[in-house]
Chain A
Amino acid sequence: MIKFENVTKVYARGARPALDRITLEIERGEFVFLVGASGSGKSTFLRLVLREERASAGKVFVAGKELGSLSSWKVPHLRRQIGAVFQDFRLLPNKTVFENVAFALQVIGKPRHQILTTVPDVLEMVGLAGKEKRRPHELSGGEQQRVAIARAFVNRPQILLCDEPTGNLDPTTSLGIMRLLDRINRTGTTVVMATHDDEIVDQMRKRVVELATGELVRDQSRGVYGSDR
């Protein structure tokens, strides 16, 4: 589903590469934790998959397409197959929960009747049934993140990218979010989650990929957060 071949990403000329010759393959339906200190290259990895950045060297394949040769007008179609969730939720404050989720479908031109049936379904799935008319500031952090996940998942993407989705949440709430992500993963969606949260990684026992200063230092199935434990 996602394949990196000797990928290097250098932001500024002469600077240390943010990613250094990474080779990695993630299969369809896998759940992968991306761990490492701040600045280790986790976010760059996710940005490359979303093609917000292009690799400086090497090849990135996502959903069977090589992104380096993908023309920019095809990028929107690539992104429709990828959902993305962030630490800061990125919800629209002046829209209700329903409108925030519907927005993702409206802007890719989905018909109204489809929006009216799929949005309530996905809100039910993330556990927000009955809160459709609330605005983001009336919700708890965990609920806001559920809205963001609903928005990322409403178009049934093949891949879900999560950039520290539990970074702003307390442990109990985080656990609920992880259960939700696990459920989404069981529907066959590939989930890649960058995180600092060792408890969660240790509990979930999924594949762990560790980056350090842009290099791949560990790739372990059913791994834990720290290699020394």
Chain B
Amino acid sequence: MRLRFILSEIGIGLRRNLSMTISVVLVTFVSLTFVGSAALLQLQIGKMKDDWYDKVEVSVFLCPATSPEPTCAAGEVTDEQKAAITAALEEPEIAPLVQEIYFETKEQAFDSFKKQFGDQSWAAVATVDDMNSSFRIKLTDPSQYEVVADVVSGKQGVESVQDQRRLFDRLFLVIDRATLLTGGLAAVMLVAAVLLITTTIRLSALSRRRETGIMRLVGASTWFIQLPFMLEGAIAATVGSLLAVGGLWLGVEYLVTDWLGGTVSWIPYVTTADVLTVAPLLVAAGILLAAISSLVTLSRYTKV
């Protein structure tokens, strides 16, 4: 009796304020979509870091025949200079950071250059002597780049040291900014959602003042009076959060996996599985939203 009664009360309440209920659903939908997008952007960064940081190396470019760098004043790198660089990397405090070193000759560099850009007209003028020979260092921990770079840079025969991570950092910065923007929009929408749910519950409580008045009079307990209103808000917010999950799922499936994945395929993208990871968080956020709004409103409008 109790459960059926509460459910029918909720049904009446939701139908009576149908337009308000729909607006609550939509606002939670939009706000949680933003929240979810922010989370997915961060997951995307994580994925790219995982994937790329394993592959990146520190490249120590050695002096070619002519170079304006002061460390290259002596001309093309000599074997003694190479030996000194290798020795520096094998020092006991550096060695544990280095996973693997290999040497790339000018010829190998020229080959891979040809392979990559050979069909471009400007690439035809390049010669083997325009290439740098280099040490490619794979680090055990990519974040220790600075330590390794300090050891080799400035040594005679080293033209420049380049960490490939630096190239990605700019991309990550862009995504981070995008996350911040989405997060900011999400915050604004969440405030709107709380205010709207609050108003909806208040309207609902006012439109059922007769009923709640009688309930108080005959001794219904406070939770019994308030529960239908709370559940109304919670149901609307849950529907909104489920819509947000659905929207994100579709967005990832069609925009990211199908479209982006089809166009630029070398990036590891977030998948619909990631959306499902975020989903419980979004639903929880929706319910929390409704709970906060209920607590704020109900204590005032359905006092015993």
Residues of A at under 8 Å CB distance from B? 50, 72-73, 75-84, 90, 92, 103-104, 106-112, 115, 151-152, 155
Contact = CB atoms under 8 A, between A and B. Distances in A.
B224 A92 contact: no
A52 B214 CA distance: 13
A50 B214 CA distance: 13
Interface string B210-221: 110111111111
A89 to B, nearest CB: 11
B224 A107 contact: yes
Given A80-B218, A108-B218, A109-B2, 15 more contacts: A73-B222, A75-B219, A76-B216, A77-B219, A79-B217, A80-B219, A82-B219, A92-B214, A103-B214, A104-B218, A107-B218, A108-B220, A109-B1, A109-B224, A152-B218
Q: Range of interface residues on chain B?
A: 10 to 19
A69 to B, nearest CB: 16
Given A79-B218, A80-B218, A151-B218, A111 B1 contact: yes
Contacts of B211: 92, 103
A107 B210 contact: no
The 3 closest A-B pairs by CB, nearest first: A79-B219, A80-B219, A107-B220
A76 B210 contact: no
Interface in B217-261: 217-222, 224-225
Contacts of A104: 214, 218
Nearest to B2: A109
By CB atoms of chain A within 10 A, which of B213, B216, B220, B225 has the most?
B220
A80 B218 CA distance: 6
Contacts of B2: 106, 109
A107 B215 contact: yes
Contacts of B296: none
Contact of B5 (A50, A76, A84, A107): A107
B126 interface: no
B304 interface: yes
Given A92-B210, A109-B1, A76 B304 contact: yes
Given A90-B210, A109-B1, A110-B1, A155 B218 contact: yes
B221 A76 contact: yes
A77 B220 CA distance: 8
B7 to A, nearest CB: 12
B1 A76 contact: no
A84 B304 CA distance: 16
Nearest to A109: B2
B198 to A, nearest CB: 23
5 contacts: A82-B219, A90-B214, A104-B214, A107-B215, A151-B214
Nearest to A95: B211
B214 A76 contact: no
Contacts of A72: 304
B217 A76 contact: no
A112 B215 contact: no
B102 to A, nearest CB: 75
Interface string B168-199: 00000000000000000000000000000000
A76 B222 contact: yes
Contacts of B213: 90
A114 B216 CA distance: 21
Nearest to A72: B304
Contacts of A115: 1
Contacts of B218: 79-80, 83, 103-104, 107-108, 151-152, 155
A90 B225 CA distance: 17
Contacts of A92: 210-211, 214
A95 to B, nearest CB: 9
A82 to B, nearest CB: 8
A92 B207 CA distance: 12
Contacts of A108: 218-221, 224
Contacts of B216: 76, 79
By CB atoms of chain A within 10 A, which of B211, B215, B217 has the most?
B217
Nearest to B8: A106
A152 B214 CA distance: 10
Contacts of A50: 217
A84 to B, nearest CB: 5
Contacts of A80: 218-219
A82 B216 CA distance: 12
Nearest to B221: A76
A106 B217 contact: no
B78 to A, nearest CB: 89
B218 to A, nearest CB: 4
A108 B215 CA distance: 8
A175 B58 CA distance: 102
A18 to B, nearest CB: 20
Contacts of A79: 216-219
Given A90-B213, A92-B211, A106 B1 contact: yes
Contact of B219 (A78, A103, A106): A78
